Amino acid sequence: MTDLLAEDLDGRGPIARPSLHDAIVTRVRDMIIEGELPPGSRIHEGNLGSKLGVSRTPLREALKFLASEGLVELSPGKGAVVRQFTAKDVHDSLVVLGNLEGLAGRLACEHASDDEIRDVRELHDRMIEMYQRRDRLPYFKLNQNIHSAILRLSKNEALAYVHGILQARLRRIRYIGNEGPEKWAGAVADHEEMISALEARDAERLSKVLTAHMEKTWERVRNSL
């Protein structure tokens, strides 16, 4: 399988020193995604560092990285605060994401190799396994990796780059879109349509499914903002 699975699926285990920076980034990102560090909350470096068993220096570097992803805001004198998005921020971003993914779906059907499509199928099947186990965080990471994989299969670097910026910012928002069995089942049904259209190389159908998926995401999250 090609390297489509870029993220650690479960960053909740012990932090290993050889990849300290990546491990801290993954752990803090997961805490933001799952709401352990809620939007608008100040991140107390001392308390968080003690909890993770790391010093302030690598923690600060990790927070700078998360700020570059748009998940954290850094203010002189105030430190790091988990970014809080307005409903308009979220809606506007999802509209753009939907259009980017719709275009990417068309291009992926045209440019992806059979092996690359099989790799996305493998990610999809692993995601379904996590759904059946109700293991939400690994499910979510596989879900996001599928979206990123389709963007890469478009073979358009500019498109994938812009999409990556917006997708990173909306991780927490996308995660809460799976709260509740009906919402989660709806998201899974969308993904079943996606993989079916991709395997059939049905560009029109895949584009419509991806665009509609973002519209449905807005409906799933709007009352939680």
CB atoms within 10 A of CB 13: 10
**CA dihedral defined by 154, 175, 204, 123, rounded to 10 degrees?**
60
Among the residue ranges 1-10, 85-94, 123-132, 208-217, the one predicted with the least confidence is 1-10
Sheet holding 79-82, edge to edge: 42-43, 79-82, 72-75
Report the SS3 class of residue 75.
strand
CATH of domain 17-82: 1.10.10.10
For residue 4, name the pLDDT band (cuts at 50, 70, 90): very low
Mean pLDDT for 141-159 is 97
Q: How many residues does the chain have?
A: 225
| CATH 1.10.10.10 residue ranges for the chain | 17-82
Its pTM stands at 0.85
Tell me which H or E stretch contains 4: none
Q: Superfamily assignment of 87-224 in CATH?
A: GntR ligand-binding domain-like (1.20.120.530)
For the chain, the 3-state helix, strand and coil shares in percent, each to the nearest 5, are 70, 5, 25
CB atoms within 10 A of CB 222: 13
Phi and psi, residue 54, nearest 5°: -130, 160
Q: Is the pLDDT of residue 15 over 60?
A: no
- DSSP 8-class letter at 127: H
Is-contact 97 61, C-beta < 8 A? no
Looking at the DSSP assignment, which residues form a beta bridge with residue 43?
Answer: 80
Is-contact 165 70, C-beta < 8 A? yes
The pLDDT of residue 57: 95
For residue 225, name the pLDDT band (cuts at 50, 70, 90): confident
Average pLDDT, rounded, for the chain: 92
Tell me which H or E stretch contains 74: strand 72-75
Cα–Cα distance for residue pair 36/156, rounded to 1 Å: 35
| CATH 1.20.120.530 residue ranges for the chain | 87-224
Q: Is the pLDDT of residue 24 over 90?
A: yes
